[in-house]
A and B are shown apart, each in its own frame.
Chain A
Amino acid sequence: MQRKSVSYSKYGYIFSLPFVAAFAVFAAWPLIYTVIIGFTDLRGIGKVAFHFLANPFDNFKTIIENPSFQKSLYTTALIWIMNFIPQIVLGFLLAAWFTNRRLNIKGQGAYKILIYMPNIITAASIAILFNVLFGYPMGPVNDILQSLGLTSGPENFTLMKWNARSVVAFIQFWMWYGNTMIVLIAGILGINPSLFESAEIDGASSVQTFFRITLPSVRTILLFTLVTSLIGGMQMFDIPKLYLLGGPDQATQTAAVFIYNQAFSGSYLYNRAAAASMILFIIIAILSSIVFYILRDKDAIRLNKQRKALIKNAKLRARLAEEGASI
């Protein structure tokens, strides 16, 4: 019985196996399958058999030229921007107030709990709730506007394109700014307090402190918030789907709603929907890389380059010295 040491490395593989298997079956294969379907004639309810098209890119061509798809991409981008800018501004403002020790805001716990609350509620319920709140002729919003004398008669909000988009963007904003605020508060509280103290001693104003210390220090968290919001926003479905079913006149039909409608409501064009999904995937990938590239940590990259150059230099010198010695 010789048993000096047991190798445990096989357990690394065993413990990772369920993850790898589930990922392969439920994420990787469906993604590959979607790509394949994009090149086929697969359509019609209950159909699974398909043939590859003679012109492989036909579906992609049809989808790119489809005005509804183009409009849905524009709508998605528009609604995301309309929700994200106020979300990040208000999130930052509240985070700056709540972490400011000179202001010492009371009741922060209660505010945080209430402001974060909409994030936890089912988006489907919220979309339908807003649909009845903006109801015509006598929804609560119309009721309030008339009681305050802001409008003379009831307004049919559901027929106005910009109103519909604004409400979808508002719901998205309202559900997510609390989350952004808490994430930013955590980031700001993680900054070394001595940085703020020395800024105070140097007589920096709160605005200067914010732009010179707070903002650069939370860059990673900001990047993370931006990218997750972007990826989530490009796939926005529940609220535009249920608030006004993508209407009026496709004004709230986002790309995900478009894909759903192509494949699952009436027309069963699985091949076109797959092609549209892949185009959306490519757009998300490009946008995320652009964000990563713009917000990358330039100082860290420069330092890294300098370090590499130094090492290279040292190696070169060592080799030269060696060669010199050999001569």
Chain B
Amino acid sequence: MRGNTVLRNSATKIVIYAVCIFLALLSIFPFWVMFMNATRGTFEIQQHAVTVVPSSHLMDNLRILLGKSFNPLTGFINSLIISCGVTLCTVYFSSLTAYGLVAYSWKLRQPFFTFIMAVLMLPAQVSIIGFYQFMYRIHLTNTFWPLILPAIASPAVVFFMRQYLLGALSLDIVDSARIDGAGEFHTFNRIVLPIMEPALATQAIFSFVFSWNNLFVPLILLTDNKKYTMPIMVSLLRGDIYRTEYGAVYLGLALTVLPLFVFYFLLSRYIISGVALGALKE
């Protein structure tokens, strides 16, 4: 009887481990093929598209890739500027708003919080036509401002920061800072922000990645190829000019994925726990 249960238990475990290993491989496999084929010539790829070992055509592929409109360095720098701007705006102003909601009692505090909850899930893409026309009128298309400044109002991050502050901030600290003669902004910048560091780090990672990967809005607003972001550069690989250059396309993709791989494997622990934390704050 007991032996039977043990046997069934270990059979279940074998199935579970097999499924987990299969899923892990499923996550890696497409990227593996991508990195391997980035080093192989188009002829080799057409002979056999899947291989375990890299080849020697990396530099040829790079030459073909850069000989056309694809410019990974420009894309990288533009995306970096936009994503850093978005990250700073998101975490600083969301914390400021959350602190305003937690630390002060003002007449419109509750209605304002209700408003934030109401717009928390507002689908952003449906107002793109008005957004584009408005930016076109005030001559902000082909600039980075309309991609960075909207981050000042991030309802979901304000909500997260508020929940965090409610648990982490003791108003006694704020009061004692006041007695010491500190101004309100000084208190926020020097005392409250350091307390919020773990929440800031989590939200910074996610707003950076979200902005880095965004295709829809930049694709509409940026038409000058010197202003292209990384995802727009990637979308060029789908064009006719690379139709038969498989090696170059794989290399282009690899170059856009590589920075994210490094970022992810350095920070994966924080990212995974950040996702879990986000779930519990709801």
Separation of A235 and B249 alpha carbons in the complex (Å): 27
Q: Is the interface of B mostly helix, strand, loop or mixed?
A: helix
User: Among residues 26 to 44 in chain A, which have CB atoms less than 8 Å away from a CB atom of chain B?
Assistant: 26-27, 29-37, 42
Q: B16 interface residue, CB < 8 Å from A?
A: yes
Contact with A121, one of B17, B127, B237, B257 (Cβ below 8 angstroms): B257
Contact with A277, one of B129, B237, B246, B264 (Cβ below 8 angstroms): B129
Residues of A within 8 A of B149 (CB): 22, 25-26
Residues of B within 8 A of A60 (CB): none
Separation of A272 and B31 alpha carbons in the complex (Å): 39
User: Among residues 132 to 156 in chain A, which have CB atoms less than 8 Å away from a CB atom of chain B?
Assistant: 132-133, 135, 138-140, 142-144, 147
**Known contacts A12-B109, A22-B149; A238/B216 CB under 8 A:** yes
B26 CB to nearest A CB, Å: 7
**Known contacts A27-B127, A29-B130; A15/B150 CB under 8 A:** no
Q: A169 interface residue, CB < 8 Å from B?
A: no
Q: B63 interface residue, CB < 8 Å from A?
A: no
Residues of B within 8 A of A20 (CB): 153
A263 CB to nearest B CB, Å: 6
Contact with A174, one of B16, B26, B209, B230 (Cβ below 8 angstroms): B26
A286 CB to nearest B CB, Å: 13
**Known contacts A26-B153, A32-B130, A120-B209; A264/B220 CB under 8 A:** yes
A296 CB to nearest B CB, Å: 15
User: Among residues 1 to 52 in chain A, which have CB atoms less than 8 Å away from a CB atom of chain B?
Assistant: 8-16, 18-23, 25-27, 29-37, 42, 46, 48
Separation of A101 and B127 alpha carbons in the complex (Å): 47
15 A-B residue contacts at CB 8 Å?
A8-B103, A15-B100, A18-B152, A22-B152, A23-B119, A33-B130, A97-B16, A120-B263, A121-B213, A138-B47, A144-B50, A182-B275, A256-B125, A274-B130, A288-B121
Residues of B whose CB lies within 8 Å of any CB of A are 9, 12-13, 16-17, 20, 23-24, 26-28, 30-31, 33-34, 37, 45-50, 93-94, 96-97, 99-101, 103-109, 112, 119, 121-134, 136-137, 146, 149-153, 155, 158, 184, 188, 209, 212-213, 215-216, 220, 230-231, 234-235, 237-238, 246, 249-250, 253, 256-257, 260-261, 263-265, 268, 271-272, 275-280, 282
Given contacts A33-B127, A125-B256, A178-B27, 14 further A-B contacts (CB under 8 A): A9-B107, A15-B188, A16-B100, A33-B130, A103-B13, A120-B271, A121-B257, A143-B50, A174-B27, A185-B276, A221-B279, A221-B282, A278-B126, A284-B126
